Amino acid sequence: MIQYIVRRILQTIPVLIGVSILVFSMMHLVPGDPAQIMAGESAPQEQVDNLRERLGLNDPLPVQYFTYVSNVVQGDLGNSIRSGRDVGDEIGSRFWVTVELAFYSTILAVFIGIIAGVISATKRNSFADTGIMIVALFGLSMPNFWLGLMLIQWFAIGMDLPSWIPFLENTSWFKPSGWGSFSQIVLPVITLGTGSAAIIARMTRSSMLDVIGQDYIRTARAKGVKERIVIYRHALKNALIPVVTVVGLQFGGLLGGAVLTETVFAINGMGRLVIDSISARDFPVVQGTILVTALLFVFVNLLVDIAYKFLNKRIDLD
Amino acid sequence: MKTNKKWLLMVLAFVLSVFLAACASEPEEDSSSASGGETPSESGDQGGDLIIATDSDAVSLDPHMTNDTPSANVRINIYDNLVTQDENMELQPSLAESWEQIDETTWEFKLREGVTFHDGTEFNAEVVKANIERILDPEIGAAVLFMYNMVTEVQVVDDYTVRFITEYPFAPLPAHLAHPGGQMISKELIEEDYAAIESGEQPGSVINANPVGTGPFIFEEWKNGQSVTLVNNENYWDEPALLDSVTFNVVPEDLTRISELTTGNAHITTPLSPSDVAQVEGTDGMHVQRQESSSLAYIGFNMDKEPFDDVRVRQAISMAIDKEQIINGIYDGAGIPANGPLAPGIFGHDETLNGLEYNVEEAKNLLAEAGYEDGFSATIWTNDDRQRVDTATNVQAQLAEIGIDLEVEILEWGAMLDQTANGEHEMMVFGWTTVTGDADNGLYPLFHSDNLGTPGNRTFTVDEELDKYLDEARQTADPEARKELYSQAQEKLVELAPFAYLLHQEYLLGVRDEVKNLSQLPTQLLQLKEVYIEE
């Protein structure tokens, strides 16, 4: 196991080198000059030239890349072109915000997704099954910035409800923006988690249906094991393996895809940082953020692989 | 079975810990929400903690390092200029009590006595010298150098008298000193910043981290990408500001900013998009505040490319566009039609200027004269700004009437800046703000042949007569003679039609009713000194 983990960690090195070269060349290939963008549309040439010189953008590209890489190896991600601040600091404060957001959303998605998936599978073709799958389809196809704005409208600004509904005359329960308190976390987590919940529900359903049809389930039932135990101990555990893979991928996707949710709810996370930095052609920040995200993604996938081992001892990691 | 239970327990413990963590983080809630809407003021009736929801964060709080509106909006409260602008763009004394032009290339400023910086150091002539010299220092790479590069020397005459020597006669110098780039930083801080450069830091890093000016508010905290907080400077040299504190919260999404206003989490939202005016006006407790601006929205032609090298084609297009449609349909009435490049209120604006009238028949005739009676196809570029995209689409429909088949292409902002500077465009929807309130800044970069491409002349206008007017006007001291030269330049620009001048936009703010005395400059900067929140 340890050997496996070490090997996997070593494997991340070429991945990171690849990512850094890719991001570096892509950022420099797109049209747009950071000095010009920073200076703005009303800026004269002299100002742009000054900036370009100050930011070291006049060096040849390979020189810029090697300076960058040798600094990264020493733990220095460079300075932001826009603000001049240390990229490590820029990412640091936002990293945990995005990880928290993605983490809570994943928890929510797993909770709802698995329960809905199991109910759907065990009550196959029932009213509940059809209902859940229709809702899941909605969840999947709903753009999350739209859902976010609607949630703000309904539960932050609040709805005018008819007075005969008890306790509900005012639904402005949550805050429309920011991150930290419970009232700020709920809406973005629902916004971000809905799509994943739908995917997990559908995955759980099909995987459960597969497993339920297998011989050992019939054997368990024949032995007179209670249905609840058959489903939750025998079937679900095996059905979870593909679901865990999806959850891992979803978590990675949420890390990168949180940008719309972060923008709508004014959450100061990595997604917004990377988008703002791309618009400003702030190369060091984009490169740094993507490197960190790639690292995190690889790490989550490693955790997923280890989780297989817990779910099914027969899976050989080595 | 046992392992099953263990597994289940682990998951449960995990979930529980997550929820606990979520609850535990509640007390650390950030200042933006903690200081909420209606915090009672401590300094009596007129005061309060103002919260402004803005679309982007400040880039730098070092006035010499950037030239963007979000940064300037914060900095105007921390720093003072020698000269300041009022709501009518007229120059008013600030840290300088008076100024005069001694000879063609020398300006003398008498400075205010008894002004101290937030760090307790004194404001005097040496401070002015240190600030301007820092801007001129190539090692610093100041973003606002272009505003002051005609200055060759700053002479300290005595403690409170300072002289600016310019390379050539430069009439708009006081207006340039009123620009956000001319804000005065504490000399001690400038020296600290230089010391930090010696030890390998970026220029501006010290000033950006802890800005020190003489302004009505003192810098308190900057959470990057999230908020900037300023507190009242009780020792301000003029009447102190009324507010106890000001917080700028970054809320990028338009509709979320309006929600902040509706729920009372913010008092002001800036900018307000014209399409959201109805929503703000339709909600109790808030209103829309409008301010005429010194900006211009225009369609630029690439005069290096056929058929836009023909003045008749440019005039035809200008005449085929009904500006009222754009102003009322897209900007919700928040703007006035533009006759020429300069907005009313800018020094040098010619009120008697006749623009090209909307006249489709005449436009068709002009096109026919130019040999395009059957029209032609072209591409119009815009960035993804809501109003600009709508403008491009509207113009596409309007020009179809004179036979021009226009394709709208939406570019990412950085790419658009780059490619229009290289002259790759045919037509483009663009904008310009004359930040100094002086015609020089509104014409010279855009139309002088020295400034082709990146410096601002993206239409590649080259006209000797125009160059002559613009050169002469910036070097003439007499205001009346300057106005005359700018009138001639504007007439020439209507005739040349390098732009189809569309409109001068109004800046819009969403403001809660309890906010009193708020005003905004035509350059989009908020004036907060006299603002208070009524309980």
DSSP calls for B279-307: HHHTSTTEEEEEEE-SEEEEEEE-TTSTT
Residues in A closer than 8 angstroms to B4, CB to CB, are 233, 237
Q: How far is B375 from chain A (nearest CA, A)?
A: 31
B10 compared with B400, residue with greater pLDDT: B400
User: Once rounded to an integer, what is the mean pLDDT over residues A156-180?
Assistant: 75
A25 compared with B390, residue with greater pLDDT: B390
Pairing mode of beta strands B268-270, B49-54: parallel
State residue B28's pLDDT score: 34
State residue A260's pLDDT score: 87
Return the closest-CA partner of residue A32 out of B420, B295, B172, B217: B420
Q: Provide the pLDDT confidence category of residue B415 given band limits of 50, 70 and 90.
A: confident
Q: CA quadruple B358, B361, B365, B367: dihedral positive or negative?
A: positive
User: Once rounded to an integer, what is the mean pLDDT over residues A157-168?
Assistant: 69
Q: How far is A128 from chain B (nearest CA, A)?
A: 26
Residue B396 has pLDDT above 90, yes or no: yes
* pTM to 2 decimal places: 0.82
B327 compared with A309, residue with greater pLDDT: B327
User: Once rounded to an integer, what is the mean pLDDT over residues A210-219?
Assistant: 88
Residue B19 has pLDDT above 50, yes or no: no
State residue A39's pLDDT score: 64
State residue B73's pLDDT score: 92
State residue B29's pLDDT score: 33
Of B253, B262, B456, the CB nearest to A157: B262
Return the closest-CA partner of residue B203 out of B79, B67, B60, B72: B60
State residue B31's pLDDT score: 35
Residue A192 and residue A262: Cα distance in Å, rounded? 9
Q: Between chains, do A177 and B260 touch, taking CB under 8 Å as contact?
A: yes
B7 compared with B393, residue with greater pLDDT: B393
Q: How far is A96 from chain B (nearest CA, A)?
A: 13
Of A30, A103, A156, the CB nearest to B415: A30
Q: Provide the pLDDT confidence category of residue A167 given band limits of 50, 70 and 90.
A: low
State residue B247's pLDDT score: 96
Residues 169 through 188 of chain A touching chain B, CB cutoff 8 Å: 172, 175-182, 184-185
User: Once rounded to an integer, what is the mean pLDDT over residues B356-385?
Assistant: 91
State residue B117's pLDDT score: 95
Omega cis (within 30) before B479:
no
Q: What is the DSSP letter of B184?
A: P
Of B23, B414, B430, the CB nearest to A32: B414
- Helix axes B464-475 and B439-447, enclosed angle (nearest 10): 150
Contact (CB, 8 A) for B506 and B334: yes
Residue B418 has pLDDT above 60, yes or no: yes
State residue B3's pLDDT score: 47
Residues in A closer than 8 angstroms to B265, CB to CB, are 175-177
Contact (CB, 8 A) for B307 and B376: yes
Q: Provide the pLDDT confidence category of residue A8 given band limits of 50, 70 and 90.
A: confident
Give ranges for CATH 1.10.3720.10 in chain A: 92-311
Residues 137 through 166 of chain B touching chain A, CB cutoff 8 Å: 138, 140-146, 149
Asked if A54 reaches chain B (Cβ–Cβ under 8 Å), the answer is: yes
Residue B390 has pLDDT above 70, yes or no: yes
> What domains are there in chain B, each with its CATH number?
52-57+213-291+507-533 (3.40.190.10), 69-190 (3.90.76.10), 295-506 (3.10.105.10)
Indicate which of B74, B249, B454 best probes the interface with A, i.e. most A CBs within 10 Å of its own CB. B454
Triad B322, B328, B334: Cα angle to 5°: 120
Contact (CB, 8 A) for A192 and A98: no
User: Once rounded to an integer, what is the mean pLDDT over residues A107-125?
Assistant: 91
Number of CB atoms found within 10 A of residue B95's CB: 24
Mean residue pLDDT across chain A = 83
Q: Provide the pLDDT confidence category of residue B52 given band limits of 50, 70 and 90.
A: very high
Per-residue pLDDT reduced to its tens digit, B232-276: 999 999 999 999 999 999 998 888 999 999 988 999 999 898 888
Asked if A141 reaches chain B (Cβ–Cβ under 8 Å), the answer is: no
User: Once rounded to an integer, what is the mean pLDDT over residues B106-123?
Assistant: 94
Of B202, B263, B454, the CB nearest to A48: B454
Residues in B closer than 8 angstroms to A83, CB to CB, are 59-60, 208, 224
Q: What is the DSSP letter of A124?
A: T
Residue B42 has pLDDT above 50, yes or no: no
B107 compared with B386, residue with greater pLDDT: B107
When mean pLDDT is compared across A12-21, B139-148, B204-213, B288-297, the lowest value belongs to B139-148
Q: Provide the pLDDT confidence category of residue B324 given band limits of 50, 70 and 90.
A: very high
Per-residue pLDDT reduced to its tens digit, B115-126: 999 999 999 999
State residue B39's pLDDT score: 40
When mean pLDDT is compared across A59-63, B163-167, B443-447, the lowest value belongs to A59-63
User: Once rounded to an integer, what is the mean pLDDT over residues A55-70?
Assistant: 81
Q: Provide the pLDDT confidence category of residue B2 given band limits of 50, 70 and 90.
A: very low
CATH number of A92-311: 1.10.3720.10
Residue B492 and residue B350: Cα distance in Å, rounded? 12
Residue A294 has pLDDT above 90, yes or no: no
% of chain B beyond a pLDDT of 70: 92
Contact (CB, 8 A) for B216 and B240: yes
When mean pLDDT is compared across A223-227, B14-18, B64-68, the lowest value belongs to B14-18
Residue whose tokens read 């300023």: B230
State residue B23's pLDDT score: 41
User: Once rounded to an integer, what is the mean pLDDT over residues B64-83?
Assistant: 89
Residues in A closer than 8 angstroms to B440, CB to CB, are none
Residue B13 has pLDDT above 60, yes or no: no
User: Once rounded to an integer, what is the mean pLDDT over residues B140-151?
Assistant: 83
Q: Provide the pLDDT confidence category of residue A124 given band limits of 50, 70 and 90.
A: confident
B15 compared with A29, residue with greater pLDDT: A29
State residue A162's pLDDT score: 66
Contact (CB, 8 A) for B255 and A148: no
Residues in A closer than 8 angstroms to B252, CB to CB, are 263, 266, 272
Asked if B417 reaches chain A (Cβ–Cβ under 8 Å), the answer is: yes
User: Once rounded to an integer, what is the mean pLDDT over residues B168-186?
Assistant: 91
State residue B202's pLDDT score: 78
Contact (CB, 8 A) for A4 and A248: no
Residues 348 through 387 of chain B touching chain A, CB cutoff 8 Å: none
Residue B25 has pLDDT above 80, yes or no: no
Mean residue pLDDT across chain B = 87
User: Once rounded to an integer, what is the mean pLDDT over residues B126-132?
Assistant: 95
Residue B87 and residue B94: Cα distance in Å, rounded? 15
Asked if B2 reaches chain A (Cβ–Cβ under 8 Å), the answer is: no
State residue A318's pLDDT score: 60
State residue A25's pLDDT score: 84
User: Once rounded to an integer, what is the mean pLDDT over residues B496-501?
Assistant: 94
Per-residue pLDDT reduced to its tens digit, B188-247: 999 999 999 888 777 888 998 899 999 999 999 998 888 999 999 999 999 999 999 999
Residue A7 has pLDDT above 90, yes or no: no
Residue B357 and residue B360: Cα distance in Å, rounded? 9
Number of CB pairs, chain A paired with chain B, less than 8 A apart: 185
Q: Which residues contact B153 (CB under 8 A, 6 or more apart)?
A: B164, B165
State residue A43's pLDDT score: 61
Contact (CB, 8 A) for B451 and A45: yes
User: Once rounded to an integer, what is the mean pLDDT over residues B417-443?
Assistant: 89
State residue B1's pLDDT score: 44
Residues 195 through 254 of chain B touching chain A, CB cutoff 8 Å: 202-205, 208, 223-226, 249-253
A27 compared with B37, residue with greater pLDDT: A27
User: Once rounded to an integer, what is the mean pLDDT over residues B10-31?
Assistant: 43
Per-residue tokens: B303: 């005069």
